[in-house]
Structure 1
Amino acid sequence: MPETETSAAALKPATDRAIGRWLTGLRRQAGAALPLAVLAPLLGGGLLVLQAWLLATVLDHAIAGGAAAEALLPGLLSIGALIAARALLSGIGEAAGARAAERIKLALRRRLFADLLARRPDWTAARSSGALAAALVEQVEALDGFFSRFLPAMVQAALLPLAFAVVILPVDWVAGLLFLLTAPLVPLFMALVGWGAEAASRRQAQAFARLSGYFADRLRGLVTLRLFGRAEAETAAVRDAAEALRQRSLAVLRIAFLSSAVLELFAALGVAGIALYVGLSYLGLIHLPGTALTLQTGLFCLLMAPEVYQPLRLLAAHYHDRANARAGAAEIEAVLGGLPVASRPATVAAPPTRPVAPPPRSAIAVAIEDLVLDTPDGGRRLLDHAGLRLAAGGSLAILGASGIGKSSLLEALAGLRAAEGRILLGGVPLEALDEAKLRARVAILGQRPRIFQGSIADNLRLARPGASMAELRLAAGLADVLGFADALPQGLDTPVGDGGLGLSGGEAQRVALARIFLRNPDILLLDEPTAHLDAVTEARVLDGILRFSAGRTLIVATHSTAVAARLERVLRLAGGDLLPAPHPVRRFAPGSAA
């Protein structure tokens, strides 16, 4: 079945070089904020040159020219205005960088979340939920500094030192040449140190993802661990893992501090070289052709010397943001199997609104040929070249022991679990069906349906947000939800907690069944739909299922012979195959339809 734009096909494996291109490609998600974050510091650099020249001129007039204070006032006011303008541009740049990073992270999280929703349940079940959550939260957050700080600093470091040196060359060619020769050495040595920082950041990101998954899994199984007396041992293991993560984080910081120290050393040597040259020139110890330093030009060179290296200092301070971002991207790629293609942000489409259940659009025949199905870990074969044909509009019960593979078979029929062989719906191979059409026409009810916090009506409207109250009551009546909801003070508007808190297991199952009725599918795949129900309630719910499934194709996985007796065909899953089973004798519960 073809994947949508936000599906797993949108993810592709990435090499180190591809990760860099992918990070650069995400810039489109920032809109105009990122160019503004880059442009503002460049404009501030232009004002800096003018400020340094004005300051050198004012000092020259005051010291060498003996100008009065009144004559210096316009220059001093201009310098104050330039300082204020540079501060304003700096604030604008920082705010724009933060906004750009937030936009990029939001777009990326939406896209990654849409990809997770498009995955099969067996894919997510085979992975640590903690690692998946860490990829969407912590690893995406690691990209923040790359866009808000590193990219603007990188542009400044690439342009401003060269521009400053070119401006200084006409003033004094020796000072300009010193800047041109020494400035490129700083990024070179910083890159050598940065390779180690990136490797350490990647190891730290992997350790953090492992710790997140480990902690989430232990927290989920906390009750079981306490029952078996393993709580203290697992607590110690978590403490050891956290200590290992701390050590890796400190290693990253050590390398980051080293890169900053290397840069500071070269920058200090460069500034010291310029100061030595200017001082010796004033003392008359250096006489080079074309170098006649005045107080104004010498002060200008001294004032600009630290500013030539300042963009490189800034780049070194934020270089670890690049390493963190690349490590986070690599971890996203490792956890999700690829990186999303940079494009416009993906959105999750709302379920389509369609007419309420009856009548069905059309019945669909179901057939499987040579179906091979394994457990998610591949350790056990559930179906071995099994076959099945069910006519359009037919009903089938599948019996079998717990863990034999009934639920997995239903998931494979719904396209939610990978399997070998052929699955045909209406004569069309499952993989050839459009994803949206498949989800609209095939509905599956698992043994543990998800009930969200809200009212019962809110949970029903997840299937069709625009459904009226009359349509809700019709679906709820077929699933016997009204049998308990009408006894509540607020009826279908009664609030329930997350996970169905406030409802029994059977009541939550019936709410989920009514939600499926509201979707109006053509194929119903029900997994133990009457579990947790007494015989009388089971009969009422079966009556509703059979009334709804008239003209539709119905497959029910069940342990109940009472359920199997109400359906047309019965098969038993055993030995990796679907075998004919004798039809159970039909017994009527009190109050059930004959």
Structure 2
Amino acid sequence: MAQETEKRAEGRWMRSLRPAGGWPLALGMAVPLVSGALLVWQALTLARVLGRAVGEGAPLTALTPDIALLCALLLARVLLGLLGEAAAGAGSERIKLALRRALFRRLLSERPDWSANRASGALAGALVEQVEALDGFFARFLPATLAAAVLPIAFAAVVIPADWVVGLLFLLTAPLIPLFMALAGWGAEAASAAQAEALARLSGRFADRLRGLVTLALLGRGEAEAEAAERSTDELRRRTLRVLRLAFLSSAVLEFFAALGVAGVALYVGLTYLDLVSLRASPLTLEAGLFCLLMAPEVYQPLRTLAAHYHDRAGAKAAVHEIAAVFEHLPNLREAQELPTQTRLLPGGALGIEASALRIRAPVGSRKILAGADLTLAPGAQAALLGPSGIGKSTLLEALVGLRETEGTLRLGPVPIGAVSREELCHRVAFLPQRPHLFTGTIRDNIRFADPDASDAQVRRAAERARVLAFAGTLPLGLETPIGENGLGLSGGERHRVALARLYLRDPSIVLLDEPTAHLDAVTEAEVLQELLRFTEGRTLLVATHSARVAAALGRALRLEGGRLLPVPHPLAPLEDAA
């Protein structure tokens, strides 16, 4: 029951996306109806031309106006078909763009611990493949659904004045086709859901294995993983073929009943002309009989089109279910486009940090990193954060910059952290993680990342303060030396110094550093620390470290232990034990 309720909710959500398609989608859905009206006119004109030519022996010159009208109607329907297809496609693109923006906005608004619990391949698959799977539903299935709901009944109503038996036959046979299509469609929907799930698993496996390719090669697991990927690909192939098989079955059901309907009309008209069937009060004219025969296949054509695109609906529903599973809930496009929530600006100058009954859980599992901890750093205060590796120092710093979900009270100055916008946090709080990310480019480009408008002199000054020039000056290209993704080509200490140089291009109120002097020798550490303390004078500073020199230089230390923050009277003593 819960699963059925969930499916109905997903179906309603999928239909609620239709307004995002705007006027192009509305035009794409209306064009088939206009084309259907022209089709009736075309069939009447063609029946009149044939009836006058065959029954009355009218010359070609007398038929020329009707033939010209017939050609104009054919050309108009062709142009309308192209217009409707282009408009529906444009409306579908609008919906996909709006949905991708909403999902991407959701992805960016979540904290790193949210995305860390999800396979990056599954997230990418939902943003790309699953959203793309909605294209057929909006561009083809929705226009076909409206045409199939309106045109067969309208065609039957138009045919009734010409012959009520044929019109009644259309009204009785046309509803049977969607009924049997739905029966086949249930199986197609289940198969599409399994296929979408297999595609998500394959995407996740590919992304994860690509990220760990070097590790897999070093462990000799390359061949085994290739075989596993081949099995996953083969499973996806089988599921895809199962979806196609059910889609062909649905089309075969429609063709069978459509053929029966057309054959029934042809048989009735033929027997009526032979006077073997007499259900009419007046004789059936050649023009009326031709009109009925011409309209017979057209009555079922909208249903044929619907059957051809019926699997698009099943694929779209499976894609929506997969998006809901990856992102936990489906976004509301209207809410995603509404005005941003009210935020508060942080006051100028140095900011203090105040936490009360702060609780932080591990990203995976229920282990508590902090359990009701209290922290108070006055504006401009400086402190070291101590504790053994893995105790949660990095997680605490991430929470203080808004990158982790917390419970309890956490304020930056007088403002709760939840009321501070991301832009304000990025501007006022500087955070250097334990593994800073460097991108492919030059050393200068990586430093300038903190301030794209910084001049070359400012970048050079920042590099000098972070002691980057100490190693970059020995390189032939200096700061123009190219490096690879994640600092490839630099040592651990050099990567830290490049990332630290970014700090000197900013003007933060709070500075949070995670092992800023790791991998540095004693002389370089002392130089980097001296410049860092000079820069952070008057700013609030919290440094997670194992270094006795850093803790001693800051003067105040806090130890993370047992889920609480405890003051350390003499920082040097416990650090010597930890070393």
8 A contact 2:102–2:333 mirrored in 1:
no
Distance in 2 separating the partners of 1:180 and 1:134: 44
Amino acid at match of 1:510: R
Match of 1:333 among 324, 343, 349: 324
Cα-to-partner distance string for 1:435-476 (whole Å, 9 max, x where unaligned): 443343223211222223345555455444444555545544
Equivalent in the alignment of 2:197: 206
Q: Does 1:84 align with 2:71?
A: no
Is 1:370 matched with 2:357?
Answer: yes
1:370 and 1:384 in contact (8 A); partners too: yes
1:295-344 deviation digits (Å, cap 9, x = unpaired): 11101110111011101110011011111111111111110111111238
Please name the residue that 1:254 is paired with. Answer: 245
Is 1:529 paired with 2:520? no
More divergent stretch after superposition (39-48 vs 141-150): 39-48
Instruction: Give the match for residue 11 of structure 1.
Output: none
Q: How does 1:316-331 map to 2 (within 5 A)?
A: 316-331=307-322
Q: TM-score, normalising length from structure 2? A: 0.90
Moved more, 118-127 or 472-481: 472-481
2:564 to 574, 577, 592: 577
1:449 aligns with 2:436: yes
Quote the Cα distance in structure 1 between the aligned partners of 2:146 and 2:108: 38
Identify the range of structure 1 (223-232 vs 297-306) with the bigger mean alpha-carbon deviation. 223-232
Greater shift, 130-139 or 14-23, is seen at: 14-23
Q: Which runs of 5+ in 2 are unaligned?
A: 574-579
| Aligned-partner Cα distance in 2 for 1:343–1:58 | 53
Q: CA deviation at 1:74?
A: 3.2
> Which residue matches 2:497?
510
Paired residues of 1:111 and 1:347 also in contact (CA < 8 A): no
| RMSD value, Cα | 2.8
Contact 2:556 2:571 in 1 (8 A): no
Which amino acid is 1:530 matched to?
T
Q: CA deviation at 1:103?
A: 2.4
Distance 1:206 1:316 in 2: 24
- Say whether residues 1:215 and 2:202 are aligned partners: no
Correspondent of 2:300 among 300, 306, 309: 309
Q: Whose helix proportion is higher, 1 or 2? A: 2
Q: CA deviation at 1:67?
A: 1.9
Match of 1:562 in 2: 549
What letter matches 1:58 in structure 2?
V
- After TM superposition, list the pairs within 5 Å mapping 1:106-117 onto structure 2: 106-117=97-108
Match of 1:264 among 255, 270, 281: 255
Amino acid at match of 1:132: L
Distance 1:493 1:219, change over 3 A: closer
Contact 2:98 2:333 (8 Å CA) reproduced: no
Range that drifts further, 38-47 or 124-133: 38-47
**Deviation readout 1:389-429 (Å, 9 max, x if unpaired):** 22221111112222121111111222211233332332544
* C-alpha distance 160-485 of structure 1, shift in aligned 2 (>3 A): farther
Whether 1:343 aligns to 2:330 is no
Residue 277 (structure 2) aligned to one of 261, 268, 286: 286
Q: Give the Cα–Cα distance (whole angstroms) in 1 for the partners of residues 456 and 500 of structure 2.
A: 17
Write out aligned runs for 1:454-533 (5 A): 454-456=441-443, 458-460=445-447, 462-469=449-456, 471-473=458-460, 475-483=462-470, 496-533=483-520
Question: Measured at CA, do residues 120 and 247 of structure 1 come closer, stay the same or move farther in structure 2, by a change above 3 Å?
Answer: same
Deviations 1:368-387 (A, max 9, x none): 33333332212544333333
Aligned with 1:154 (options 120, 145, 150): 145
- Work out which of the residue numbers 29, 35, 59 in structure 1 matches 2:20: 29
**Do the aligned residues in 2 keep the contact of 1:571 with 1:580 (CA within 8 Å)?**
yes
Unmatched 5+ residue regions in structure 1?
Answer: 1-13, 355-359, 587-594
With the length of structure 1 as denominator, give the TM-score of the two structures.
0.88
Equivalent-residue separation in structure 2 for 1:537 and 1:45 (angstroms): 80
Residue 542 of structure 1 deviates from its aligned partner by 1.9
Kept in 2: contact 1:506–1:533 (CA 8 A): yes
Q: Residue 373 of structure 1: SS of its match in structure 2?
A: strand
Within 5 Å, give how 1:177-256 maps onto structure 2. 177-256=168-247
Between 1 and 2, higher relative CO (CA 8 Å, sep ≥ 6) is seen in 1
C-alpha spacing 1:29/1:481, structure 2 compared with 1 (3 Å):
farther
Aligned in 2, Cα 1:454/1:229: closer, same or farther, shift over 3 Å?
closer
Q: Percent identity?
A: 61
Report the CA distance shift for 1:395/1:135 in structure 2 as closer, same or farther (over 3 A): same
CA contact (8 A) 1:114 1:348 kept: no
Deviations 1:468-511 (A, max 9, x none): 55554554444344555566677666654433345443343333
Q: Which moved more, 1:101-110 or 1:323-332?
A: 101-110
- Counterpart of 1:406 in structure 2 is 393
Q: Distance in 1 between matches of 2:91 and 2:484?
A: 37
Kindly provide the amino acid, as one letter, of the partner of residue 319 in structure 2.
G
Match of 1:61 in 2: 52
Greater CA drift, 485-494 or 434-443: 485-494
Alignment partner of 1:125 out of 105, 109, 116: 116
Moved more, 411-420 or 476-485: 476-485
Deviation by residue 1:64-101 (Cα, 9 ceiling, x = unmatched): 11122333333333322222221111112222222222
User: Residue 499 of structure 1 aligns to a residue in which SS?
Assistant: helix
Matched, 1:164 2:155: yes
For the residues of structure 2 that align with 1:529 and 1:216, how far apart are their CA atoms?
Answer: 31
Of the three residues 527, 537, 542, the one matched with 1:550 is 537
Q: Secondary structure, in 3 states, of the residue corresponding to 2:390?
A: coil
Q: Name the SS for the 2:523 alignment partner.
A: helix
Does the 8 A contact of 1:381 with 1:576 survive in 2? yes
Which amino acid in 2 is paired with 1:176?
Answer: G
The equivalent of 2:408 in structure 1 is 421
CA–CA separation in structure 1 for the residues paired with 2:154 and 2:446: 62
Q: Is the 8 A contact 1:422 1:429 kept in 2?
A: yes
May I ask how many residue pairs the two structures share in their alignment? Answer: 564
Match in the other structure for 2:125: 134
1:97-126 deviation line (CA, Å, top 9, x unaligned): 222222222222122112111111111111
Distance in 2 (alpha carbons) for counterparts of 1:143 and 1:459:
39
1:394 matched to 2:381: yes
Which residue of structure 1 lines up, in the alignment, with residue 576 of structure 2? none
In the alignment, what sits opposite 2:135?
Answer: 144
1:5 matched to which residue of 2? none
What secondary structure, in the 3-state scheme, does the structure 2 residue paired with 1:247 have?
helix
What is the rounded CA distance, in whole Å, between the counterparts of 2:281 and 2:449 in structure 1? 80
Task: Give the corresponding residue for 2:92.
Answer: 101
